[in-house]
Structure 1
Amino acid sequence: MHHRFFSPRFEKSAALLIAHPHLSIAEIASMTGFSSQRYFSTSFKGWKGISPSEYREKMQSE
């Protein structure tokens, strides 16, 4: 996977996950241009090593 291509999208999605906890993962996937929640979640995990929901939980607890 070409993470450089996706990096700005991942950075935006990571910021949205933290700033807008009321948004679903599917909404964030759509807002950042991913075709499906599943593709977004799989790609995000490849980038960060954890799922979007795990990332959100981790960042909120810090």
Structure 2
Amino acid sequence: MLFRLITVIRLSSPAIALQPAHRKETLKDLDIVVGNALAEIKAQELKEKKPNEEGLG
């Protein structure tokens, strides 16, 4: 997931530089993608953590 996130950011940089007229739209889309990726990472971490906590009880 993190690799995919880094790839999206890396590929977005040239798009922002080459299309300054669409920069705001591209940054907004990038913000959404990053937010979704971070939510997925957090959900996965919680999913992995939950079985460990259940085993302790």
User: Does the pair score TM above 0.5?
Assistant: no
**TM-score normalised by length of structure 1:** 0.37
Question: Which one has the bigger helix percentage?
Answer: 2
Instruction: Answer with 1 or 2: which has the greater Rg.
Output: 2
The structure whose RCO (Cα within 8 Å, separation 6+) is larger is: 2
